Amino acid sequence: MYQKVTGIVLHTLKFNDVSNIVHVYTRQNGRISFLVRIPKSRKSGVRPILFQPLAMVELETDLRPTSRLHYIKEAKSLYPFRSLPYHPYKSAIAMYLAEFLYRALREEEPDGPLFAYLQHSIRWLDECESGFSNFHLVFLMRLSRFLGLYPNLDFYQEGCCFDMLNACFTLSSPVGGAFLKPDEAARIRLLLRMNYDTMHLFTMNRNERNRCLTVINDYYRLHLPDFPLLKSLEVLQELFD
CA 36 – CA 57 distance, rounded (Å): 14
Share of the chain above pLDDT 90, in %: 68
Can you tell me the mean pLDDT for 29-50?
78
At residue 37, the pLDDT reads: 81
Q: Burial letters for 173-182: b for 16+ Cβ neighbours within 10 Å, e otherwise?
A: eeeeeebbee
**143-190 per-position pLDDT tens digit:** 999 999 999 998 899 999 999 999 999 998 887 779 999 999 999 999
Cα distances (angstroms) measured from residue 45 to each of 42, 105, 198, 206 = 8, 28, 41, 43
pLDDT above 70 for 41? no
Strand partners, 4: 60
At residue 26, the pLDDT reads: 96
Q: How far is CA 139 from the centre of its chain?
A: 8
CA 56 – CA 76 distance, rounded (Å): 9
**Confidence band of 135 (pLDDT split at 50, 70, 90):** very high
**103-113 per-position pLDDT tens digit:** 999 887 899 99
pLDDT above 90 for 14? no
**61-85 per-position pLDDT tens digit:** 988 888 888 988 889 999 999 999 9
pLDDT above 60 for 241? no
Range with the lowest mean pLDDT among 1-5, 120-124, 162-166?
Answer: 1-5
CA 219 – CA 160 distance, rounded (Å): 17
At residue 89, the pLDDT reads: 92
At residue 240, the pLDDT reads: 59
Share of the chain above pLDDT 70, in %: 96
